Amino acid sequence: MSAPHRPTLDEIAAARLRLAPHMARTPMMRLDLGLPDRQIFLKLETLSPIGAFKLRPALNALLSRDADVLRNGVATVSSGNMAYGMAWAANRLGVPMAAYMYQGAPQTKIDGVRRLGGEVRFISMDTWWQYIIGAEQPDFPELLINPVTDQAVLSGNGSIGMEILGDLPEVDVVLTPYGGGSMTSGVASAVKALRPQAKIFAVEDENAAPVTAALAAGRIVEIETRPSFIKSIGGPSLVPQLWPVARELIDGAITVSLEQVTEAMRLLFAKAKVVAEGAGAASLAAALSSEHARGNVVCVVSGGNIDAAAYATVLGGYIPAP
């Protein structure tokens, strides 16, 4: 697997042009909480056609390939939203699609893949991770699009950052949930190119915070993780091919607790009528709790695909079981 590079503005602008016929620009709204030292804005990727930002990288990855490269279909590795996005994109383009997912992925995302004609292939968590970091490859003929290191994935995610600067040129801080790192790296590539003084922070669940650990150690480290209902961020380590790009771009990492995340989910529902999954609300949790969140703060609300029972638990004032 080749290492990706930091997407250029030209690459990101080209991705935006590819995406425009297929999906509308997602809105950004101000969340007025009366805080004296910060204005919070929500970049609502929950309002994409699949309810998550992953449609951008999936679509750009397919639209930037020649048709003959896709003749055997496409596959991706995903905890949920990338699989859902790839299924939507493949369905739109008439390409067969398969997703490698682990048991325990949110049912709403599994159902979304199947509803769009995608095949779900369940694998162990360890195999899933080996596919992500490129240590192993599935023995199938489809083109495997890596959800973290594919260059077109990064450029597609960069379109979020370009839109943020279009809506709020004077942004001071951008908070992005950090899973594999492709969204944070893509967004940061655009933001840093257009407004270098803006700060970018990776937001992590304190139960699985490999970015925080890597920054403290000065290198990628393996960490112990604790079970969490948040499925789309965190992990035992970082994707080594992408870390040099991410490390160059981010200004730090912020960890949030499950209590802070569920509180943010309830606040989004009460104040903005926005449904966010745990990873999607993590950026708002950081905006409310971190000393780094000052001035014009944009929270990328990355997705809203959460199982109904888990969401009901959150709205009832509790933390869902892992």
pLDDT of the residue at 105? 80
- Which domain-ending residue is among 145, 167, 200? 145
Per-residue pLDDT of the chain (322 residues; tens, 9 = 90+): 678 999 999 999 999 999 999 999 999 999 999 999 999 999 999 999 999 999 999 999 999 999 899 999 999 999 888 999 999 999 999 999 999 998 878 888 899 999 999 999 999 988 988 999 888 888 888 999 999 999 999 999 999 999 999 999 999 999 999 999 999 999 999 999 999 999 999 999 999 999 999 999 999 999 999 999 998 888 889 999 999 999 999 999 999 999 999 999 999 999 999 999 999 999 999 999 999 999 999 999 999 999 999 999 999 999 999 9
Residue 267 lies in a domain: yes
pLDDT of the residue at 271? 96
pLDDT of the residue at 1? 66
Same domain, 177 and 225: yes
User: Token match 């939507």: residue?
Assistant: 88
Same domain, 44 and 73: no
Residue 59 lies in a domain: yes
pTM for this entry: 0.95
Same domain, 177 and 35: yes
Residue 248 lies in a domain: yes
Residue 159, C-beta contacts closer than 8 angstroms, at least 6 positions apart:
12, 15, 16, 19, 56, 60, 186, 190
* Of the candidates 127, 166, 239, the residue with the CA atom closest to the CA atom of residue 13: 166
Q: CA 180 to CA 157: how far, in whole Å?
A: 12
- Which domain-ending residue is among 100, 128, 145? 145
- Which domain-ending residue is among 102, 127, 145? 145
Residue 321 lies in a domain: no
pLDDT of the residue at 234? 83
Q: CA 312 to CA 275: how far, in whole Å?
A: 11
* Of the candidates 102, 113, 117, 109, the residue with the CA atom closest to the CA atom of residue 305: 109
Same domain, 220 and 288: yes
Same domain, 302 and 167: yes
Same domain, 221 and 294: yes
CATH assignment of the domain containing 60: 3.40.50.1100
Residue 320 lies in a domain: no
The domain tally of the chain equals: 2
pLDDT of the residue at 24? 93
* Of the candidates 128, 94, 91, 87, the residue with the CA atom closest to the CA atom of residue 111: 87
* Of the candidates 136, 128, 133, the residue with the CA atom closest to the CA atom of residue 148: 133
Same domain, 184 and 72: no
Long-range contacts of 115-118 (CB under 8 A, 24+ apart): 116/84, 116/87, 116/88, 116/90, 116/91, 117/87, 117/90, 117/91, 118/83, 118/86, 118/87, 118/90, 118/91
Residue 3 lies in a domain: no
Same domain, 100 and 141: yes
- Which residue range(s) make up the domain with 79? 55-145
Same domain, 16 and 68: no
